[in-house]
Amino acid sequence: MNNLYKITTALAVILAFSACNNSPNTSEVAEETVVADSIAARYLSQPLITDHYTADPSAHVFDGKLYIYPSHDIESEVPQDDLGSHFNMMDYHVYAMDSPTSSVVDEGKVLGVEDIPWAKRQLWAPDAAEKDGKYYLYFPAKDAQDIFKIGVAVADSPTGPFTAQPEPIKGSYSIDPAVFEDADGSNYMYFGGIWGGQLQKYRNNNFEDKGPAPTDGLPADDQPALGPIIAKMSDDMLEFAETPKEIKILDQEGNPLVNGDNNRRFFEAAWVHQYNGTYYLSYSTGDTHYIAYATAENPYGPFTYQGVVLNPVEGWTNHHSIVEVNGEWYLFYHDTQLSGETHLRNIKMTKLTHLPDGSIQTIDPNN
């Protein structure tokens, strides 16, 4: 069955619920409604967007309004593999919300692969930032050699359209850029992802192709795991102001998390937020499907592992963002409720709670 048809059918059932008392087929509509309600009840939150497949939501508040910058999943004929080749996204849309409880407005397509001179394919998870009235969309894409680099596009509005720079950011590599603005106005990019994200192919920022398998180039299981990469941004937000550095994630005893510690080690999707003066690095553990988090006293770390933000969602991937809106904190994430397909996801949101001791209350996405 075509997956967009699945979405349309599900929506039709939900809409029919409001009209069931006026329908000549009330019993049939009621039965369909019970089925739809039982499916929806399995999930903590419902999809924010239902007419497109969306994933990897990067949420920000600009000028008092909430904007979401997700990736745009599409149907793909590329066979599934552990490199994520079937995640063959081609463009980005921006979504706006007046408040966390308001409707979501699709502001339209703001950038496509055809608009990026150096990019060949696979526009994966993006992020956005603002400085001095300019808005910046950061994105990974594969170049002509099928190597992931990170690009930037600029706009005068958070809804674009965005104009891509002619070349990727010098010294950038891998995937999942996330830009954090510190209290002093400094901006830092966190990036990287193993397996299909190619981070395991780099050492000290130099490309070393260790082989074609997703795990080729990873450390031994008893060796320190690869960490995300950090680089301070230049004043114009278009380049790195320093040589990128690897972040260390430690256990409670101060030892580096090892590569074989799949429930805790970094895989992809780094995100940083600050709460009560503490820096929180959250990230996906990938093949074990947790959103974990670690804390530090400065943006470079080292970060100490603390626990789990989000338990595994339906679907293979797990990618998120955390944002404060009017004094309340929200987690944005995705699953595959609408399609049941790994590469056709839908974004969601739910409240996030920092407990009095500074820990984050673990969220279970399924009821």
Question: Phi and psi at residue 21, in whole multiples of 5°?
Answer: -70, -20
Sequence-distant (≥ 6) Cβ neighbours of residue 48 within 8 angstroms: 54, 57, 68, 95, 104, 346, 347, 348, 349
Known catalytic residue at 56: yes
CB of 78 closer than 8 Å to CB of 85: yes
Of 130, 268, 335, 341, which residue is the catalytic one? 268
The Cβ of residue 290 has, within 10 Å, a number of other Cβ atoms equal to: 22
Residue with tokens 């709460």: 275
Report whether 227 contacts 209 (CB < 8 A): no
Report the amino acid identity of residue 193.
G
Say if residues 244 and 229 touch (Cβ distance below 8 Å). yes
294 and 241 Cβ atoms separated by less than 8 Å: no
Strands 278-284 and 268-275 come out as antiparallel
Reply yes or no on whether 261 is catalytic: no
Sheet strands side by side (includes 105-112): 53-62, 65-73, 91-97, 105-112
Task: Report in angstroms the alpha-carbon separations of 69 from 35, 156, 343.
Answer: 32, 16, 17
Cα–Cα distance for residue pair 305/225, rounded to 1 Å: 13
Catalytic position from the list 56, 73, 246, 261:
56
Q: In what order do the strands lie in the sheet with 346-352?
A: 321-325, 328-335, 346-352
Question: What is the rounded distance in angstroms from the CA atom of residue 337 to the CA atom of residue 360?
Answer: 25
Decide: 145 and 162 in contact? Cβ < 8 Å: no
| CA atoms of 128 and 96, how far apart (whole Å) | 13
The amino acid at residue 78 is V
The strand pair at 291-296 and 278-284 is best described as antiparallel
Task: Provide the annotated active-site residues.
Answer: 56, 268
